[in-house]
Amino acid sequence: MPVATLGLHHVTGIATRPQANIEFWVRLLGQRLVKRTVNYDDPQTYHLYFGGPTGQPGTVATFFPWQGAGPAVRGAGESVAVAYRVPPGGLTAWRRRLDDHGLAHATFERFGEEVVAFQDPDGVPLELTEAAGGGPRLVWPDAPLPDGLTLQGLHAVTVAAPRLDATASVLEEALGMRVAAEDVGGSGRRVRLAPGPSPEGLAYPAGGFIDLVEVQDQQPGRLGAGSLHHVALRVKDAEIAEARAALLAAGLKPTVVKDRTYFKSVYFKEPGGAILEVATDGPGFLVDEPADELGLAFKLPAWLESERDFLRARLPVTASPEYADRWRR
């Protein structure tokens, strides 16, 4: 039996300079730095989390800043773009904002939606769309950008799929997704998968699509600056073990359930090679910081606290512009 995937949870990319990454995502994109911690699998690398006011699932982008990393090589078997929703009428204002900051952008249509595409300074492919429906508007009283510019959460992630049908089958049979649209255009066959019907009473951001674009005779991508390392899908807290079992039953090789402090998760590779994850909503980012101090302190899991001074000496100083002189190492 498949689990009921609830949509997108977060995406994780590769940056280079951590403070430059923070400045772009906070100042230009208007996201909140909700957590400064380390990559639990590589503690001498930061793990920076950006999202809505409390880092609600479905609003979050995270980064591993690999200082000195070479540029990514785009190819098959990886996620190649992440799209955010903006309020109705917001694309015009966003094009003006991108122009004001000297960022090149392109406009095109996909599945009947107008899309504005650009890149962050490290080359992460980003998209904006006014797509609406399916959930409440993000409430953010003190949003750093005007209301018409505030990002409303993750809309879709594009995966370059050399085995599109096999990947779609896994997402349908193990994770309860469904084909919502299909198109054959200049970039090849594209299939959009949506989460199944939301459980009664559950509120979550609209969208949460996985777009599979078929690639043939293309070499595998190589991780580097500007890569999307992985994409996480949401599951109910109580269903993470069930999700892992469903992935095993589909013939995949998921990891054990990992405790990431702010959620529990399981990682796996889809048939084409892209890294995906299923992650729980809870316990969330308020588990170790109050809402008005999210991202202020450098947080470590209990098992790394004894290494705090060692790690602090090796990681560059970072701070969120939100707190100005109030930052804490």
pLDDT for the residue 206 = 43
- For residue 307, the SS3 value is helix
Structure tokens at 178: 């469904």
Single-letter residue type at 205: P
8-326: CATH number: 3.10.180.10
CA–CA distance from 42 to each of 64, 67, 97 (Å)? 10, 13, 36
What percentage of the chain reaches a pLDDT higher than 70?
93
Q: Are 37 and 47 in contact (CB under 8 A)?
A: yes
- The bridge status of strand 106-110 relative to strand 78-85 is unpaired
Q: Answer whether residue 329 shows pLDDT above 70.
A: no
Where do the domains of the chain lie?
8-326
The pTM assigned to this predicted structure is 0.95
Q: Give residue-wise pLDDT tens across range 52-109.
A: 999 999 999 999 999 999 999 999 999 999 999 999 999 999 999 999 999 999 999 9
Q: Give residue-wise pLDDT tens across range 103-134.
A: 999 999 999 999 999 999 999 999 999 976 54
Q: Answer whether residue 204 shows pLDDT above 60.
A: no
